[in-house]
Structure 1
Amino acid sequence: MVGTVHRHTGAEDVEEGVGLTALLVAAARAIETHRHDSLARDVYAEHFVRAASACAGWPVRMQQVPDGDANPLWGRFARYFGLRTRVLDDFLLRSTQTHARQVILLGAGLDTRAFRLDWPPGCVVFEIDREGVLAFKRKVLDGLSATPAAARVPIPIDLRDDWVGALADAGFDPAAPSVWLAEGLLFYLTNAAETYLIDTVDRLSTGGSALAFEVKLDKDLLEYRDSPLYTSTKHQIGIDLLNLFAREPRPDSAGALSGKGWSTSVHTPFDFTHRHGRGPMPEPNDALAGNRWVFANKPRP
């Protein structure tokens, strides 16, 4: 276990603190879905936004944003989340089309990949997150009669609790290749918690497994505290990301995996903007400057 846990149940898990950021990302996915040049489609995303009172009035289409793409939050930042969704969708599908049939979403939030991606036969998607978050998601998706495209196993547990035991109890097989995803998660963890998570994924992964995660490598997060991205998020929807992020120096998780024999690649989001022809580009005073997307593969013996 990483530490003690304070449990909540109910909608408060997605309407306050870090949970509220899951609704922010859902709104961004909804906006992306309705773009004419969409990078990723999530038809469920807008329903999460509409089901939570905390985000009443948030846009789910770009036409609902008066200044459109010029808006730092619903323009550039939302497009970032759309690009991230597409890149990680591609990673998961590519990984499951080779060896892995177990998919583990760490801090799954309002992720709907179990429902919207075209999974190969035999895939199982384990979703680990707090009970209240998964209950909120279940209520919304049940109301839409949504049907998963792979075997879906929700695991209602806080990542600070014994999620490894819960995953084993849910049928996870450490002897079979897996693909792991930590999307928008490590920002909020302490240095020690991130190290524990990466070490644990390594321990539970056999050859042929893969992992993708997102980190911020800024030497000083507060360097960008007055960036348009942070200030617009705080002023428009009341989420102060810098108060939620862990500010201590980050561990070199990509380097640690390389030291354990994984092959790793580290990219900026802008690498994929160039690849797909749309997405955020670097700008002055850029809160995205330190963001990195890491992809790792554990070779077979």
Structure 2
Amino acid sequence: MDGVDGGVGLTALLVAAARAIETQRHDSLAQDIHAEHFVRAAPACSEWPVRLQQVPDGDADPLWGRFARYFGLRTRVLDDFLLRSVRTGARQVVLLGAGLDTRAFRLDWPSGLVVYEIDRAGVLAFKERVLSDLAAAPKARRVPVPADLRADWVTALTTAGFDPAAPSVWLAEGLLFYLPGPVETSLIDAVDRLTVEGSALAFEVKLEKDLWEYRDSAIYTATREQIGIDLLRLFDRGPRPDSVGGLTARGWSASVRTPFDFTRRHGRGPLPEPNDALEGNRWVFAHKPRP
């Protein structure tokens, strides 16, 4: 489907619901006042919780407690990465598979910054409708780029005004494990071609050789049984490329971290547990050094 009413599109609504729950926490790591409106606007998830008080087991619920807290932590960590990058010179932000990301609206960007949001036309249209109904105003120049990342999104991005000669920061949040390995490689290669020194990239990968070993983990089971999203059937099951190695071979510097590193830093978020579907998740932060 082209919108958010099924398949991978539905996962964008799952993350929006998690951000809505995070927003209302007393110890919130990230604020997204628009997130709950996406959830309520989509018939497929209009009954999902948008506040932890609406979850009978609260934080003990593996989906709306622990998994939602993971998404809240990820949002905060990647927010911080983007803001650091623009403070050190990047003047273009590219959100790959932007989904229902509202960073153009909720982060305090420096003047003159442009945020490019690449996703399928149906996803962007749904997002535009909800934000328009809210009369939401972006805090930077926002340029939606309707394109499929499996097709020629580079032409769409440059046609929309992206300048490969200017420093940029790129984000692939919760994206790559849905794509076939060759598409991931092509995407990373394109980012390298489109960036100059002083640019940065953050993305998320999963290291498990066999994702199905975790099929009965609490997170995957709860997501499947409570809201009908079988993440393991949506993830691409082919071999994954070594994107970090590919970048470092081209001269990028890269740091690979676990989400739990940031749980400990912020004092909030998921910690490891047995049979943990988050065990193989890694967040990669890469920089193209200046000479």
TM-score by length of 1: 0.96
Within the candidate set 210, 216, 222, 2:200 is matched to: 210
State the distance in 2 between where 1:273 and 1:254 align: 23
Asked whether 1:168 is paired with 2:158, we answer yes
The residue that corresponds to 1:275 in the other structure is: 265
Counterpart in the other structure of 1:300: 290
Name the residue aligned to 1:100: 90
| Alpha-carbon separation, structure 2, partners of 1:137 and 1:270 | 31
Q: Compute the RMSD of aligned alpha carbons.
A: 0.7
Q: Say whether 1:74 aligns with 2:64.
A: yes
Answering whether residue 190 of structure 2 is matched by residue 200 of structure 1, we say: yes
1:152 aligned to 2:137?
no
Q: Which residue of 1 aligns with 2:174?
A: 184
**Paired position in structure 2 for 1:4:** none
Counterpart for residue 227 of structure 1: 217
2:231 is matched with 241
Secondary structure, aligned partner of 1:201: helix
User: What do the CA deviations read for 1:236-274 (whole angstroms, capped 9, x no partner)?
Assistant: 000000000011221111111111100100000000000
Q: What runs of 5+ residues in structure 2 fail to find an aligned partner?
A: none
Where do 1:21-170 residues align within 5 Å?
Answer: 21-170=11-160
> Partner letter of residue 109 of structure 1?
G
Matched residue type, 2:253: S
With structure 2 as the length reference, what TM-score do the two structures score?
0.99
- What is the 5 A alignment of 1:241-260? 241-260=231-250
Secondary structure of the residue aligned to 1:66 is coil
Moved more, 32-41 or 242-251: 242-251
Task: Give the % identical residues.
Answer: 77
Question: What residue ranges of structure 1 are gaps of 5+ in the alignment?
Answer: 1-7
CA distance in 2, matches of 1:297, 1:83: 22
The one-letter code of the counterpart of 1:80 is Y
Provide the C-alpha distance between the structure 1 equivalents of 2:257 and 2:237, rounded to a whole number of angstroms.
21
Which residue type is aligned with residue 257 of structure 1?
A: L
Q: Deviations over 1:6-60 (max 9, x none)?
A: xx55xxx101000000000000000000000000000000000000000021000
